[in-house]
């Protein structure tokens, strides 16, 4: 298990990296792509489309921006407290930092502009347009869940009572 300073550094670094990559990518899109214009990156796979999203991740929940800001704040506080107080492996701490960083990235947009800049388009399927913050949140959740399942299973196996030597 990682020490508290190591956990907090891993958590903080992941969150800062997520926010930085998200904000830099959104700034580039706002400066270089006209609103609504589609540009193909990888033909028939991935494109860029500059849109303004007043909803949640993947353009869902239109018009509930302040609710999403509140949710992002609560998730940030909960994850920070968990990382601070619990002995967790870095393999779980870093994904939690990614989740928090992605949430903060979108929160910065909502509070500063009243909308989130989305721009990533999966051109091979009908899927909402999203951004780098959404990627960090989604991947962070999936990785944290898988790591938690493996970590929990390993700890249950270590603490499981054995039947050796007991009469049935």
Q: Cα–Cα–Cα angle for 15, 113, 75, nearest 5°?
A: 35
Would you list the domain boundaries of the chain? 4-146
Reported as a single tens digit per residue, the pLDDT across 88-129 is 888 999 999 999 999 999 999 999 999 999 999 999 999 999
How many beta carbons lie within 10 A of that of residue 44, not counting itself? 8
Terminal CA-CA length for the chain: 38
Question: Which residue in 22, 109, 118, 152 is the catalytic one?
Answer: 118
Question: Which residue in 22, 109, 123, 134 is the catalytic one?
Answer: 134
CA distances from 149 to 92, 94, 102, 138, 146 (A): 10, 16, 22, 17, 5
Residue 123 falls in the annotated catalytic set: no
Q: What's residue 115's pLDDT?
A: 92
Q: What's residue 168's pLDDT?
A: 45
Residue 118 falls in the annotated catalytic set: yes
Reported as a single tens digit per residue, the pLDDT across 138-162 is 999 999 999 988 877 676 656 555 4
């Amino acid at each position: 298990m990682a020490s508290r300073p190591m956990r907090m550094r891993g958590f903080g670094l992941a969150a800062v990296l997520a926010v930085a990559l998200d904000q830099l990518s959104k700034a580039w899109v706002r400066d270089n792509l006209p609103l609504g214009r589609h540009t193909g990156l990888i033909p028939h796979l991935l494109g860029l489309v500059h849109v303004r999203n007043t909803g949640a991740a993947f353009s869902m929940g239109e018009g509930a921006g302040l609710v999403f800001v509140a949710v992002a704040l609560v998730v940030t506080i909960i994850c920070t407290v968990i990382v601070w107080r619990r002995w967790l492996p870095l393999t779980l701490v870093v994904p939690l930092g990614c989740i928090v960083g992605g949430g903060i990235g979108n929160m910065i947009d909502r509070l500063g502009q009243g909308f989130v800049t989305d721009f990533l388009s999966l051109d091979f399927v009908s899927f909402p347009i999203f951004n780098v913050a959404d990627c960090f949140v989604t991947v962070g959740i999936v990785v944290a869940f898988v790591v938690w399942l493996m970590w929990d299973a390993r700890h249950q196996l270590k603490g499981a009572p054995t039947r050796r030597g007991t009469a049935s």
